[in-house]
Structure 1
Amino acid sequence: MERRKIIHRNYFRLTLISFFIGVCGASLAFSLKKLTDYFEHRLFNFAENCPIAIILFPTIGITAIYFLRKHAFRNRKNKGIAEIYKTLDQRKDHLPLFKIPSHYINGFLTVIFGGSTGIEVSTVVATATVGNFAYKKNLSAKIYKRELICAGVTAGVAILFCSPLAGWLFAMEVIARKVNRTLIISCTSSALVSWLFISLFDDRPLLLYTITDWNWAAFPFFIILSLFAAALAVYFTLLVTRIKNLFGAISNNFVRVNLGALAVGVLIYFFPGLYGDSYDALHEVLHESITAPNISFFFLLTIAMLKPLAASLTLGAGGDGGVFAPSIVSGAFLGLAVAFVGNAYFGANLIPLNFALVGAAATLSASLFAPLTSLVLICNLLPNGYLLFVPIMLGSVISYFFSKRLLPYNVYSYDFYLAERR
């Protein structure tokens, strides 16, 4: 009986501290999201009237990150989600508190100055650090380190995509990689706080379009798209690893930073849609595909292929970010390209919006090795996105398994982290 009381008391403390971590993580993610959106729009609008600025902006942002890392953060590098895996794998190792301002500021600077990635991974590591800090302060039982870190991650992803369920699944599927009672308690507590936060402050989905219908006759094209999306994700993974290794071999910091940043700037100059997280470019192209579906197939395919390249160059040069935004955007453009081919050459009468969403989910699933997270996250991008539940689920699952055949591990997966350690 006494043992049961202790267990229940620990569960109660875990719930309370998870609520607290959820509040902190949600506040951190919300502020980063809103600040980044605001300044990204302002700087991009300025650059449109000053073409040379659009080339130089990535250099300004990544150079600022380099000097901050050197002088403010004592040359300690950010390594993304691999840092969380290392912390969970080695219980005595912790995410140092500087990871919060480091990832927050670096992610912000990367995206607002055009670095072709998103703030998602920066948010994930920063909010994971909030959970780790609570653990270090002995605010719960010593065995709950994974639970508290996952509580922070749940809140971060939930706020970014206005989906507590997506945050919950990401924490379970990608970070914890297992399910047990205490993880359910901590992540659910954080998700509830995130739900309340979203209801009060930000319940607007990323895309404001609505799904009208989908047809079973489109299934063969969904399957083809899923296979292409898996290949696109593997292409992205290989680009990230190869370009990071290439830039890591450059000993001259000035050359490394400017080579990658200027390359990104040149790509943005010719294809402005690559600027920052590219969500605005996706909005515009989706609008055109719905109102006047005559977008060039080669334009769609070019953006689908160049977004992973621009993101890899951004990360190789020293920018902060990850695969979320590039995978969603490049996958959506790939989906639009497949719909274009189906309609133009096969008379399939495909709905471009549907294919954009399935392409985004399939590419994200293969990039993260997280089909459930991708399914829920993409369904929540639109007010009635769950009408596409079946085709999005199909795309996520097919691309996940096919990408594992093409490549045994992803650059942000735990298997890749273990391979790197070996």
Structure 2
Amino acid sequence: MRRKVLFYSYTKLTVASLLVAILCCLLAFSLKHITEYAQHFLFNEVSSRNSLLFIIFPSVGITAIYFLRKYVFRNRKNKGIKEIYTTLETRKDHLPFFKIPSHYINGFLTVIFGGSTGIEVSTVVATATVGNQAYKRGLSPLAFKKELICAGVVAGVTVLFGSAIGGWLFAMEVIAKRMQKTVIFSCTVAAILSLVFVHYFDHTFLISMPAEKWQWKAIPYMLILGVLGGLLATYFTQIVIHCKTWFAHIESNFIRVNLGAISVGVLILFFPTLYGDSYHGLASMLSSFTTTEIVTAVPVTLALLIFLKPLAASLTLGAGGDGGVFAPSIVAGAFLGILFAYLCNSYFGTEFLIINFALIGAAATLSGAIHGPCTAIFLMCSAAPNGYALIFPLAVGSLVAFLCSKVLCPYNVYSYKEA
């Protein structure tokens, strides 16, 4: 009798996980591509017509979000991944359905109008809500709430980064935070389906430049870069917290929204690389640093961008934009890795490959920011062609950054209130 009950429960969980994964793959796929298209279109239009429009563009997006929250979503707040943690703590608490369109639309508007963050956290919360709603509607046994939420997250992250292992690890390491047989099962089902979806419909890389072979003598430098990535992640975490706290004390919605958004717009005017998720700027920087001659001003600009990207992201979030630390951490960390390799090559006689250190820096900073070293390793392995050739260097950078950031700041940006 017990075997029959278990078989029935796992069968129902399998079907529910597959259904949730399909819906979340479609959600993440559509948000990813319409955001990418609209962001590039608007950026190119403004660049070719009048760059001064960059100053007001973030205000347009964040003001639209403000009115949507007030009149369409009835002033119900979005708190990002912390909402998922709250929901998982009690069986009766649920992520309401409105969070699917809310995060989908708000994440889209934030990024396409230049808000210096990404759609990753918006996607994570929206897909978690899909899983929660499936549970709420009785598509699985009552004990499997966490399982369906994590299945949705796996599918969303897999489609965004093209890494089923990375999506699986993020759900286990950052969302579930502990291993359970049923969670492992539902996440694996969702990961397999998402992997098939990505293979047939969205097999592209975040960075087009392929990773190269590395040498063991570079390990000490990778350790140093890991420490620097941990320091950068700690800086990012602290500045996000302080910006959100400071903006929360501004009573006037008009001042709060426009102060933050116009500040971001001014930064974008002088540094267009900060526009939106900045993945386009990362590609441009990689191209610049792989040419035979590098203009002197470029490394200086890159050094500034390492600190300005987290600041611009923090101002965006403080002003009311929708997003999180994924894209800013990856981009700022990659900038750090590029600059580190360039300086080593220029002054210490090394011959480091820029793309390799860009990926290590990105993995290190992401690991420190989300306190998810395993997630960071495999997401960056899938970020560029031949990325798995760097799995050991990525592991070195990620683990060192995680330990460094954990010592300096025992909480990540999603859990600081509970720390």
Question: What TM-score results when the alignment is normalised by the length of structure 2?
Answer: 0.98
Residue of 301, 304, 317 corresponding to 1:302: 304
Q: Which amino acid aligns with 2:323?
A: G
Question: Following the alignment from structure 2 to structure 1, what is the Cα–Cα distance between the partners of residues 348 and 260?
Answer: 41
Query: What aligned pairs does 1:48-63 form with structure 2 within 5 A after superposition?
Result: 48-49=47-48, 50-63=50-63
Question: 1:43 aligns to what SS in structure 2?
Answer: helix
Q: Is the 8 A contact 1:205 1:381 kept in 2?
A: yes
Q: Is the 8 A contact 1:117 1:277 kept in 2?
A: yes
Shift of 1:205: 1.1
Q: Is the 8 A contact 1:85 1:417 kept in 2?
A: no
Partner in structure 1 of residue 219 of structure 2? 219
Question: Following the alignment from structure 1 to structure 2, what is the Cα–Cα distance between the partners of residues 293 and 102?
Answer: 46
Partner in structure 2 of residue 31 of structure 1? 30
Partner in structure 1 of residue 376 of structure 2? 374
Partner in structure 2 of residue 96 of structure 1? 96
Query: What aligned pairs does 1:222-233 form with structure 2 within 5 A after superposition?
Result: 222-233=222-233
Query: Is there any run of 5+ residues in structure 2 with no aligned partner, and where?
Result: none
In the alignment, structure 1 residue 356 sits paired with structure 2 residue 358 = yes
Shift of 1:417: 4.7
> More deviation in 197-206 or 98-107?
197-206
Query: What aligned pairs does 1:17-416 form with structure 2 within 5 A after superposition?
Result: 17-49=16-48, 50-292=50-292, 294=294, 296-413=298-415, 416=416
User: What's the CA shift string for 1:60-85, capped at 9, x where partnerless?
Assistant: 00000000000000001110000000
Q: Is the 8 A contact 1:327 1:367 kept in 2?
A: yes
Question: 2:138 aligns to what SS in structure 1?
Answer: coil
Shift of 1:156: 0.3
Question: Following the alignment from structure 2 to structure 1, what is the Cα–Cα distance between the partners of residues 133 and 350?
Answer: 54
Question: Following the alignment from structure 2 to structure 1, what is the Cα–Cα distance between the partners of residues 208 and 410?
Answer: 36
Question: Following the alignment from structure 1 to structure 2, what is the Cα–Cα distance between the partners of residues 213 and 411?
Answer: 34
Question: Following the alignment from structure 1 to structure 2, what is the Cα–Cα distance between the partners of residues 260 and 211?
Answer: 37
Q: Is the 8 A contact 2:212 2:356 kept in 1?
A: no
Question: Following the alignment from structure 2 to structure 1, what is the Cα–Cα distance between the partners of residues 25 and 161?
Answer: 11
Q: Which amino acid aligns with 2:371?
A: F
Q: Which amino acid aligns with 2:147?
A: E
Shift of 1:290: 1.8
Question: Following the alignment from structure 1 to structure 2, what is the Cα–Cα distance between the partners of residues 20 and 164?
Answer: 17
User: What's the CA shift string for 1:238-293, capped at 9, x where partnerless?
Assistant: 00000001000000000000000000000000000000000000011111212336
Question: Following the alignment from structure 1 to structure 2, what is the Cα–Cα distance between the partners of residues 293 and 159?
Answer: 37
Q: Which amino acid aligns with 1:7?
A: L
Question: 1:291 aligns to what SS in structure 2?
Answer: coil
Question: Following the alignment from structure 2 to structure 1, what is the Cα–Cα distance between the partners of residues 34 and 46?
Answer: 18
Q: Which amino acid aligns with 2:42?
A: L
Shift of 1:88: 0.3
Q: Is the 8 A contact 2:212 2:353 kept in 1?
A: no
Q: Is the 8 A contact 1:82 1:417 kept in 2?
A: no
Shift of 1:52: 1.7
Q: Which amino acid aligns with 1:357?
A: L
Shift of 1:343: 1.0
> More deviation in 48-57 or 22-31?
48-57
Question: Following the alignment from structure 1 to structure 2, what is the Cα–Cα distance between the partners of residues 291 and 128?
Answer: 43
Q: Which amino acid aligns with 1:367?
A: A
Shift of 1:197: 1.0
Q: Which amino acid aligns with 1:58?
A: P
Question: Following the alignment from structure 2 to structure 1, what is the Cα–Cα distance between the partners of residues 331 and 209?
Answer: 16
Question: 1:348 aligns to what SS in structure 2?
Answer: coil
Question: Following the alignment from structure 1 to structure 2, what is the Cα–Cα distance between the partners of residues 334 and 412?
Answer: 23
Shift of 1:207: 1.3
Q: Which amino acid aligns with 2:154?
A: T
Q: Is the 8 A contact 2:120 2:323 kept in 1?
A: yes
Q: Is the 8 A contact 2:163 2:195 kept in 1?
A: yes
Q: Is the 8 A contact 2:13 2:186 kept in 1?
A: yes
User: What's the CA shift string for 1:83-122, capped at 9, x where partnerless?
Assistant: 0000001221100000000000000000000000000000
Q: Which amino acid aligns with 1:54?
A: F
Q: Percent sequence identity over matched residues?
A: 56
Q: Is the 8 A contact 1:221 1:338 kept in 2?
A: no
Q: Which amino acid aligns with 1:80?
A: G
Q: Is the 8 A contact 2:111 2:119 kept in 1?
A: yes
Question: 1:290 aligns to what SS in structure 2?
Answer: coil
Q: Is the 8 A contact 2:212 2:386 kept in 1?
A: no
User: What's the CA shift string for 1:157-195, capped at 9, x where partnerless?
Assistant: 000001111111100010001112111111111111111
Question: Following the alignment from structure 2 to structure 1, what is the Cα–Cα distance between the partners of residues 354 and 60?
Answer: 37
